[in-house]
A and B are shown apart, each in its own frame.
Chain A
Amino acid sequence: MSSQAPPFLKDSRTLFVFGSSHRTAPLELRERIALENGKMEKLCKRLKETPGLDEFLVLNTCNRVEIYGVSHNGNLKTALQDSICSVHGMPREHLEAHTYWKANHEMLEHLFYLTTGMDSQMVGETEIFGQVKESYNSAQKQGTVGKTLNHVFQKSFKEAKWARTHTAISKGQVSIGNVVVDLAARIFGKLKKSKILLIGSGEVGEKTAQALKSRGVKHITVTSRTFENAHHLAHTLGGASLDLDNLESNLSDFDIIISSTASNDLLLTHEQVKHAQDERRGDPLFLIDLALPRDIDPAVAELENVFIYNLDDLSKIANQNLQTRLGDMDQLKQTFSRRAWAVWLTITRR
C-alpha cells in the first residue's frame, strides 16, 4: 500500500483515511472507540492542533470511526492514533492492530466503496450515504474541510448515486423487515391504510412491524398471551392492543398479520383463516409467520388471495437479493479503481 503521493505530484500532500471498522475491529473495541458524549468535539479539537493536517473530516457510525484528511506531512498515522486513544483514555497498543491507513487513490477507492455501501456490513445499504453526508455537512460548518476534501466528497456522492442507478448494488432488500415491506408493497401498494396485527411480542416481529411503520403504516395492533406485554409493545409502536381471546373474531379486520410467538401449537388454523378471508370478500391477506415452530397453518397458502411467508421464505429472498448485489461488486470495484485514479490525478494537477 502506498502512503506517499506519487512522484509526479506538484506537492507532497497526502490524501488519507485512517480508522477502524467492523472489518478490522471486534464489537467490543468499536463500542470503546465510539465518539459519544462530547468525545467527537474533543477529537476534532485535537485534530485541529495536529501539525501537518490541512483538512479533515471525522466519520463516526456504529460500525466505524474514520478520519479523512489531507496532510502535507506524510504519514500521520501515529499522531491520529494517539489522538483517538487520548480522547478515550486507552493505551495505543489496544487500537494499533485494529486500524487501517489508506492513502491517495486508495483512500478514494475506499471512500467510493463506503458511500456506495460496498464496505458496509449489509452490502448495498444506503444509510451510510446519509451518514457520510451528515459528517461532511458538519465538517463544512466547522470549516475543517477545504478545497480538496470538498472535491473528493462531492465526487464520492456522485459515484454512489451513479452506482445505485446503474447497478444492482442497492437493489432488493436484505433484512427480513424490509423484505416484508417490499412484499407488502407488492400486494397493497401504498401501506398507509393497511391494518397490521402483530401476534406475540418477540424482537423479530417488533422489528418487522417497525419496518412497516417506517413505510407509513398507521394502524398497528398487538396481541400476545400476556396482555401486559402486548400493551407495552403497542405503546412502543404507537398502536392498539387486543386480547388474544378476541383474535379470531377480529381476524378479518387486518390486512397484514405478523406472528412470532413461542407457541407449540398453531395459532391460526386453515379454518380460521378461510373464515376471515370469506368475510374479507376477496381483499388480499398477507400472513408472515416468523415463529419456530410455525404459528400459522401452511395449508392456508392454497386460499384465494392469501399470501403466506415463513422465516425460510423471507431469508431465501433476502439471500437472493444479497447475491444480486454481490454480483455487481467485482465490476464496480474495477470501475471505482479507474475512477479513483482519474480523480486523484485531477486533484494533484489542480
Chain B
Amino acid sequence: MEFSFTEARHMAGLATLIYGAAALYAAVSMLRGHRYLRSVIFIVISLGWAVQTVALFERGYEIKACPIGNPFEIFQFITWTSVGLYLLLVPFYRLSLLGFFTTLLVFGLNTLSLVMPGWDQPYTGPRFGGNPWIELHASLAILSYGIFGVLALIALMYLLQQYGLKQKRSQGLFRWLPSIRELDAVGLHLLSAGLLVLSVALVVGSFYWIPNLDSVSIFKLSVTLLIWAGYLLAFCFRFQKRLVARKFAWACLLLFGLALISLWPVNASRRPLPPETPLTSHSLETHDE
C-alpha cells in the first residue's frame, strides 16, 4: 500500500505517528531525568494537529459534511478537538506535562480508531440527512467530548500528583507535575466549558428532535442525556464543594470513560444503510482493500 497525501486515513496515520514521536521524545527525556523542552513538544504537536486537520478536511470534503459519521471519524474528531484545546490552553496555563499526557491520549485513541476493524465503515454522506441543525448538534457534542478528554487528562494528572504527595514520592514524573491547586482550577474551567458546549449541542439538537420525535433513537437520546446529566451533577456538586479533590478527579475520569463507551451503542443504534445505496469514492477504496 502506498502512502497518499490525499487519503484521509493515511494522513490520520501520519498525524498519529507524529503524536507518538512527541510522546516518545517526552518519555525518553523524563526517563533520562530531564524535563523535556516544552517548545519542542508544542511544535511537534502543532505539526501533528496540522496534518490531522488536513485528514479531517479531506474526509469532510469527500462526504461533503462534518466527518463524524463513524467511530473512526468520531475518535479522530475528538482527539483533534483535544489537541486544538491543548494548543489553545498552552499560552494561558503553564501546565507542565500536559503536552506529554495529551500526546499519550491522542496517540492511544487515534491508534485504536485506525486499527479497529469495521470502525471506518463506509456510508453515504452526509450522515445526518443534510439537516444543518443536527449536524451542528453532533459537531458541538463531539467538541464537548474533546474538552472532556482534556479534563480527563487533567484529572489523571491531579490523581498522580495527589498520590505522589500522599506517598511522599518526589522523584521522576512527580516533581514535574503541576500543583494540585492549579490542576483543580483548570479542571473546573474545563468542566464548565465542556458542559456549556454540550448543553448548547443539546439545545441545538432539540430543534430537530422535538418536531421529529418518531425518527429519533430513544436509546441514543437517553445515553446522551445521561452523559450530560452526569457532567451537570459533577459541576453542581463541585460548585457546592461537595465533590472535591480525588472524588472530583475520579468522577471526571469515569464520566469521560462512559462518554467514550457510549459511542458504541450510540453508533450501533443507527439504522444501517440500504444495500443499494451508492458508495462514496472513499468507501470503494476501503472495500477494495
**Interface residue from B33, B34, B180 paired with A186 (Cβ < 8 Å):** B180
Asked if B285 is an interface residue, CB under 8 A from chain A, the answer is no
- Contact B33–A171 (Cβ < 8 Å): yes
- Contact A183–B244 (Cβ < 8 Å): no
Asked if B171 is an interface residue, CB under 8 A from chain A, the answer is yes
- Contact B180–A187 (Cβ < 8 Å): yes
- Contact B171–A307 (Cβ < 8 Å): no
Separation in Å of the A46 CB from the closest CB of chain B? Answer: 46
**Interface residue from A185, A304, A324 paired with B33 (Cβ < 8 Å):** A324
B interface, size bucket: 20 to 34
One of B10-18, B55-63, B160-168 at the interface: B160-168
- Contact B179–A305 (Cβ < 8 Å): no
> Between A and B, how many residue pairs show CB distances below 8 Å?
60
- Contact A182–B170 (Cβ < 8 Å): yes
- Contact A185–B179 (Cβ < 8 Å): yes
Count A-side interface residues using an 8 Å CB cutoff: 26
Chain B residues near A186 (CB-CB < 8 A):
161, 164-165, 174-175, 177, 179-180
- Contact A172–B168 (Cβ < 8 Å): no
Please report which residues of chain B, range 166-208, place their CB below 8 angstroms from some CB of chain A when the two chains form the complex.
Answer: 166, 168, 170-171, 174-175, 177-182
Consensus secondary structure, chain A interface: helix
Asked if A157 is an interface residue, CB under 8 A from chain B, the answer is no
- Contact B171–A189 (Cβ < 8 Å): no
Docked CA distance A281–B243 (Å): 10
Asked if A250 is an interface residue, CB under 8 A from chain B, the answer is no
* Given the contacts A171-B33, A172-B175, A304-B246, A188 and B181 also touching, CB distance less than 8 Å: yes
- Contact A282–B171 (Cβ < 8 Å): no
- Contact A305–B244 (Cβ < 8 Å): yes
Asked if B241 is an interface residue, CB under 8 A from chain A, the answer is yes
Asked if A150 is an interface residue, CB under 8 A from chain B, the answer is no
**Interface residue from A171, A281, A307, A317 paired with B241 (Cβ < 8 Å):** A281
Chain A residues near B170 (CB-CB < 8 A):
172, 179, 182-183, 317, 320-321
Chain A residues near B247 (CB-CB < 8 A):
304
Asked if B245 is an interface residue, CB under 8 A from chain A, the answer is yes
The contact string, 1 if C-beta is below 8 Å from chain A, for chain B 198-234, is 0000000000000000000000000000000000000
Chain B residues near A6 (CB-CB < 8 A):
none
The contact string, 1 if C-beta is below 8 Å from chain B, for chain A 181-209, is 01101111100000000000000000000
- Contact A309–B182 (Cβ < 8 Å): no
Separation in Å of the A317 CB from the closest CB of chain B? Answer: 5
Separation in Å of the A166 CB from the closest CB of chain B? Answer: 8
Please give me the residue from chain A that is nearest to B94 by CB atom. A189
Please give me the residue from chain B that is nearest to A171 by CB atom. B33
- Contact A189–B181 (Cβ < 8 Å): yes
Docked CA distance A75–B66 (Å): 81
- Contact A282–B175 (Cβ < 8 Å): no
Docked CA distance A185–B94 (Å): 14
Please report which residues of chain A, range 304-326, place their CB below 8 angstroms from some CB of chain B when the two chains form the complex.
Answer: 304-305, 307, 309, 313, 316-317, 320-321, 324
Separation in Å of the B221 CB from the closest CB of chain A? Answer: 34
Separation in Å of the B197 CB from the closest CB of chain A? Answer: 26
Docked CA distance A187–B178 (Å): 8
Docked CA distance A321–B168 (Å): 13
Separation in Å of the A128 CB from the closest CB of chain B? Answer: 22
- Contact B165–A282 (Cβ < 8 Å): no
Separation in Å of the B113 CB from the closest CB of chain A? Answer: 35
Chain B residues near A282 (CB-CB < 8 A):
241, 244-245
Separation in Å of the B234 CB from the closest CB of chain A? Answer: 14
Docked CA distance A281–B246 (Å): 13
Chain B residues near A305 (CB-CB < 8 A):
162, 180, 244-246
* Given the contacts A185-B179, A187-B181, A307 and B161 also touching, CB distance less than 8 Å: no
Interface centre among A171, A189, A281 (most CB of B within 10 A): A189
Please give me the residue from chain B that is nearest to A316 by CB atom. B168
Asked if A292 is an interface residue, CB under 8 A from chain B, the answer is no
Asked if A301 is an interface residue, CB under 8 A from chain B, the answer is yes
The contact string, 1 if C-beta is below 8 Å from chain B, for chain A 249-290, is 000000000000000000000000000000001101000000
Docked CA distance A185–B166 (Å): 15
Docked CA distance A186–B247 (Å): 19
The contact string, 1 if C-beta is below 8 Å from chain B, for chain A 208-226, is 0000000000000000000
Please give me the residue from chain A that is nearest to B178 by CB atom. A189
Separation in Å of the B246 CB from the closest CB of chain A? Answer: 7
The contact string, 1 if C-beta is below 8 Å from chain B, for chain A 158-192, is 00000000101001100000010011011111000
Docked CA distance A321–B33 (Å): 12
Chain A residues near B178 (CB-CB < 8 A):
189
Chain A residues near B179 (CB-CB < 8 A):
185-189
Separation in Å of the B185 CB from the closest CB of chain A? Answer: 9
Extra inter-chain contacts (8) besides given A183-B165, A187-B179, CB under 8 Å: A168-B33, A172-B171, A188-B181, A189-B179, A281-B241, A304-B245, A320-B171, A324-B171
26 A/B residue pairs, CB under 8 Å, sorted by A: A168-B33, A172-B175, A183-B170, A186-B164, A186-B165, A186-B177, A186-B179, A187-B181, A188-B179, A189-B178, A189-B181, A189-B182, A281-B244, A282-B244, A284-B180, A284-B181, A284-B245, A301-B166, A304-B246, A304-B247, A309-B168, A317-B168, A317-B170, A320-B170, A320-B171, A321-B170
